Amino acid sequence: MKALVFTGPGTVEMREVPEPEPGPGDVLVHVVTSGICGSELHGVRTPGFRVPPLVMGHEFAGRTDEGRPVIVNPILSCGECDVCALGLRNVCRKRRIVGVHTPGGFAERVAVPESALVALPEGLDWTAAGVVEPVANAVHAWALAGTPKGARVGVIGAGAIGLACLQVAVSGGAGRVEIADRSEDRRAVAARLGANAVLTELTGEYDVVFDAVGAAVTHEQSLARLRPGGVAVWLGLADTASGFDAADLVRGEKRVLGSFAYRDVDFAAAIGLVGGWDLSWVTTFPLAEGAEVFTALMNGRATPVKALLAP
C-alpha cells in the first residue's frame, strides 16, 4: 500500500510499504482523512522520539472492514495505573500514541486497537472528522482553565490549535477573544472566525491566555499579558525553554497550566462541536501529494492553516 514515510531528518517520502497486520484486539482502518500536525513538522525537522522510518499521522478517521465510519483516538494508555484510574489517560506514564510510537494514518490503511475507535456520528463530514483530534486539544485547554463566561481571552498563534482555541472560546461564551500571529493570512482567517481583534502581538490584559506556540518568547508574553490572578495555558511545544518572569508569577499570583492532548470526555465534546463550525481554514489534498505539502509546511509556508491528506 502507499504511505507517507518519515525517512530521516527533514525528509518525508511517498513509498510502497507492507500491508498492516492487525494483532489481537486490533481493527484495520481504511483511512479517509488524516491531518498534518505542527508537532509532526517540528518532529521531522528536529528528530527526537519519532524514529524513522515511520508512518506518522495521529489525527485521522476512516472506515473499518465492515464499513463502520470511525474517528481514531490515538492515545494508547495502560488503563491500569493510578493516573489512568483518575481518568487522565492522556498523561499515563506508559502512554503510546498512534503515529508516534506505532504506524499512523498517513497511509491507505492502519491497524489500531478496537478501543481507540470512536463512532463517527451520522451527518458529520470527513473534513470535520479530520480535525476532531486537534479540536479536542483546545477543548481540554479550555476546561483546564475553568474559563468563566464573559472572560477576556488571549490566544497566541493562529495555526490549527490556536484557531481551535479561538472557536472553542467563542462557543464557550468568552466575552472577548483576541488572537496574535505573525502571518497576515492567518490573522485574516482568525478575523473571519470571530476574533474581536487580530494582532501581531497581544497588547491587552486578559483573564486567560492560551499559548498555542510554545516558544520562550510566547511563554513570556502569555504571563506578561495576564491580569493578576489570571491563568496561562500552554499547549505549544516549539521550545523547551520556559522564558517567563518567575517574580511576576509570584507577585501577580498568576497560574501556568500545561495542557497535553485531551481526556476522553474532551474528545467526545470536540465531536459535538466541529459539525457546526466554519472549517474553511482546512484544505484536503490527495495522499499522493503528501510529501510536497508536508515539506512546504515544514519549510514555513503559512497556508493552508490545516492540511488533511486523503488516500
Cβ(98)–Cβ(74) below 8 Å: yes
Q: What is the pLDDT of residue 147?
A: 83
> At 25, is the secondary structure helix, strand, or coil?
coil
Positions of the chain with pLDDT lower than 70, given as ranges: none
pLDDT at res. 302: 74
Question: What's the confidence (pLDDT) of residue 303?
Answer: 83
Q: pLDDT at position 49, please?
A: 84
CB count in 10 Å sphere of residue 138: 31
Residue-by-residue DSSP string for 260-279: -S--HHHHHHHHHHHTTS--
For residue 225, CA distances in Å to 32, 175, 282 come to 41, 17, 30
DSSP 116: G
Amino acid 240: pLDDT: 82
pTM tops 0.85: yes
**Which bin fits 226, alpha (ψ -120 to 50), beta or left (φ > 0)?**
beta
Residue 21: beta bridge partners?
Answer: none
Q: What is the pLDDT of residue 48?
A: 83
Beta partners for residue 310, in sequence order: 286
Task: Give the separation between CA 197 and CA 200, rounded to whole angstroms.
Answer: 10
